[in-house]
Amino acid sequence: MPPPTEGLLILPSTPRSRWRILLGSAMTVAAAVLVYLALVVPDAIGRMKPGTFIEGAFLRVPIEIIIGGAIVLALSPRWRRPVAALFGLGLGVVVILKVLNVGFRQVLGRRFDLVLDPPLLRDGYNALTETDGRTYANLAVAAAILLAVVALVACTFAALRLAAATARYANPARRTLVGLTAVWVALAISGITLFPNAPVASDSAADLLKSTAKSVPVAIRDQRHFAEAADSDPFRGVPPTDLVSGLDGKDVLIGVVESYGRSALTDPAMSAVVNPVLDANQKKLTDAGFAAKTGWLTSSTYGGGSWLAHASFQSGLWINSQQRYHQLTASNRITLTSAFHDAGWQTVGVEPGNTVAWPEASFYGYDTIYDSRNMGYQGERFGWSRMPDQYTLDFFQRNAYAKRTKPLMAEITLTSSHEPWTAIPQTLPWDQIGDGSSYAANALNRQELWSNPSKTQLQYAKSIGYSVDNLISWATKYGDKDLVVIMFGDHQPMSIVSGNNASHDIPVTIIAHDPKVLDRLADWNWADGLKPAASTPVWQMDQFRDRFFTAFRSQGGVAMPHR
């Protein structure tokens, strides 16, 4: 009597059949590995320390496998494949969202918002075009689309493969799911975590989809609440001349130093470069009869999105998304520039990074806008920056400041400190700048630079020193007793420079020749000079406008309460 064969796997005798079975088994294992990795690898993987990568990212039990397996086993054969395909597509979406989150965490220090952030992808494409060329940017977009399609197809195939295997071996699958459920519950009760915010009892994929779904109603509520805040301007109805009467007859220049963040002053590797520059420029100011006070502001953005920070600084509202930015610029909110404009100042915006028309200029209240199209620069490019900051300041001097016929209010964005920090211009004598063709670029390769964080920090620090030095040099060379300079950073640099979990604080400085200007800031408790102290108060960036108007409105006016 032959031995029983029920329940035993009998390999066919032909080599082709054996290879087909082995290949099928390998594909099933590969599908299981893909699904497992897609579920457990956290979207903060870019922030992991080398020693925690394996333990924190991979030794986890995902509840989604347990729930998905149970549903597949409970379904009839008719519905098993379509539901498994739907699970696979959902898993592909999870993978795409995780990749986006990794990128956004590295650059902007936060997760990707499916509702509010898609416009930023276009801005990222434009930035890549500026730094690496349109061909490279187009290839990067094509590669991203291809990888997204591959993720969706591969995850769908993997889910179908595992669903078929689960149905084929139903009893072993049930026993496995029961065991995994017991393990998951025990781990969830124990709360074991091998990596921050990544517990071993994992439900990260379900949580990611849930938070993404919640972003829609959250965005709708935020849109409504922000519209109410934009309309409730405490300074509406106050005569513009009253808002800035304390600066009557003064020329006011806002100098925005790109990516000038707290890390430049507090991280030892970078402060060793930046602080000597500030000390030297403090001496320049003192010798020229200027004084300065410096504080901290918490930016509404991090690593990028400079226009959001500019809008927060100017409007007195917290602008941390493109939705809020669009709402703001469609409103009649009073900005710093519009207040000066309506009070009779000549207003000028200098935006060397802009390559197309800027429709929001009228909202801010600028009479004249200069950008890369009309500034006459003929020299080499310096990374993202189309022209060195010294050229920008010299152009402003020749075309606006020297030609002013009434008090001038201007905002100048200094872009030499914009990432990727691959090329830092040399400083020329002011009378030799001309059309900029004398500047020579000696650029580093970005991939090579960014592969070395210490070297990247050094280049960043040098770029901050360059931008600040040229702004102060311009002020001390050309400024007179009526010049007031407001210098601030728009945001911290990305995490490759500032590190993981860095604050969003930036320094802000007011420089004046007339001591009466800084006397109005006595209750701000800012530090004397170009560097804030450890005890210097930190305000949100949107608080600056209200405090500024309160400090510089007519002495007889009623001060607005500090928030």
Residue 8 domain flag: no
Q: What's the pLDDT at 7?
A: 44
Is the same domain home to 285 and 137?
no
Q: Which residue has the higher pLDDT, 114 or 547?
A: 547
Is the same domain home to 408 and 455?
yes
Q: In 3D, which of 374, 351, 329, 355 has the Cα closest to residue 258?
A: 351
**CATH number for the domain including 377?**
3.40.720
Q: In 3D, which of 334, 267, 197 has the Cα closest to residue 505?
A: 267
Backbone phi and psi for residue 417, each to the nearest 5 degrees, phi listed first:
-95, 15
Count Cβ atoms below 10 Å from residue 548 Cβ, excluding itself.
23
Final residue of a domain: which of 152, 184, 217?
Answer: 217
Is the same domain home to 142 and 273?
no
In the structure, what pLDDT confidence band is assigned to residue 562 with cuts at 50, 70 and 90? very low
> What's the Cα-to-Cα distance from 205 to each of 58, 91, 213, 549, rounded to whole Å?
14, 8, 12, 47
Is the same domain home to 276 and 147?
no
pLDDT exceeds 60 at position 11: no
Q: In 3D, which of 405, 65, 339, 75 has the Cα closest to residue 203?
A: 65
Q: What's the pLDDT at 46?
A: 58
Is the same domain home to 272 and 192?
no
Tell me how far apart the 2 most distant CA atoms of the chain are, in Å: 113
Residues whose CB is less than 8 angstroms from the CB of residue 513 and which lie 6 or more positions away in sequence, other chains included: 288, 289, 290, 291, 479, 480, 481, 482, 483
Residue 307 domain flag: no
Residue 191 domain flag: yes
Q: In 3D, which of 282, 266, 314 has the Cα closest to residue 505?
A: 266
Is the same domain home to 367 and 414?
yes
In the structure, what pLDDT confidence band is assigned to residue 58 with cuts at 50, 70 and 90? low
Is the same domain home to 351 and 460?
yes
Residue 124 domain flag: yes
Q: Which residue has the higher pLDDT, 157 or 9?
A: 157
The arithmetic mean of pLDDT across residues 134-153, rounded, is: 89
As a residue count, the chain comes to: 563
Q: What's the pLDDT at 51?
A: 46
Residue 558 domain flag: no
Q: What's the pLDDT at 19?
A: 78
Which residues sit opposite 408 in a β-bridge?
Answer: 346
Q: Which residue has the higher pLDDT, 383 or 435?
A: 435
The span from the CA of 410 to the CA of 3, in Å, is: 94
Q: What's the pLDDT at 56?
A: 54
In the structure, what pLDDT confidence band is assigned to residue 20 with cuts at 50, 70 and 90? confident
Is the same domain home to 201 and 259?
no
Lowest-pLDDT choice from 49-58, 108-117, 119-128, 298-307: 49-58
Q: What's the pLDDT at 48?
A: 52
Lowest-pLDDT choice from 11-15, 485-489, 502-506: 11-15
The arithmetic mean of pLDDT across residues 274-295, rounded, is: 98
Backbone phi and psi for residue 361, each to the nearest 5 degrees, phi listed first:
-60, -40
- Structural domains in the chain (count): 2
Is the same domain home to 84 and 174?
yes
pLDDT tens-digit profile of 326-375?
A: 999 999 999 999 999 999 999 999 999 998 899 999 999 999 999 999 99
Is the same domain home to 182 and 271?
no
Residue 525 domain flag: yes
Q: What's the pLDDT at 6?
A: 44
pLDDT exceeds 90 at position 528: yes
Residue with tokens 């400190």: 417
Provide the terminal-to-terminal Cα distance of the chain, rounded to the nearest Å: 92
Is the same domain home to 147 and 270?
no
In the structure, what pLDDT confidence band is assigned to residue 559 with cuts at 50, 70 and 90? very low
Contact 527, 293 (CB under 8 A): yes
pLDDT exceeds 90 at position 203: no
The arithmetic mean of pLDDT across residues 175-201, rounded, is: 76
Residue 4 domain flag: no
Q: Which residue has the higher pLDDT, 50 or 378?
A: 378
In the structure, what pLDDT confidence band is assigned to residue 539 with cuts at 50, 70 and 90? very high
Contact 221, 533 (CB under 8 A): no
In the structure, what pLDDT confidence band is assigned to residue 197 with cuts at 50, 70 and 90? low
Residue with tokens 């106050």: 238
Q: What's the pLDDT at 401?
A: 97
Q: What's the pLDDT at 76?
A: 86
Q: Which two tokens stand for residue 536?
A: 């210097």
Residue 550 domain flag: no
- Domain limits at 523? 242-297+329-483+492-535
Which residues sit opposite 291 in a β-bridge?
Answer: 512
Q: Which residue has the higher pLDDT, 11 or 123?
A: 123
The arithmetic mean of pLDDT across residues 478-506, rounded, is: 95
pLDDT exceeds 80 at position 42: no
In the structure, what pLDDT confidence band is assigned to residue 503 with cuts at 50, 70 and 90? very high
Q: In 3D, which of 520, 539, 543, 489 has the Cα closest to residue 244?
A: 520
**Of 63-72, 134-143, 489-498, which one has max mean pLDDT?**
489-498
Mean confidence (pLDDT) of the chain:
87
Which residues sit opposite 435 in a β-bridge?
Answer: none
pLDDT tens-digit profile of 394-403?
A: 999 999 999 9
pLDDT exceeds 50 at position 8: no
The arithmetic mean of pLDDT across residues 129-133, rounded, is: 74
Is the same domain home to 142 and 210?
yes
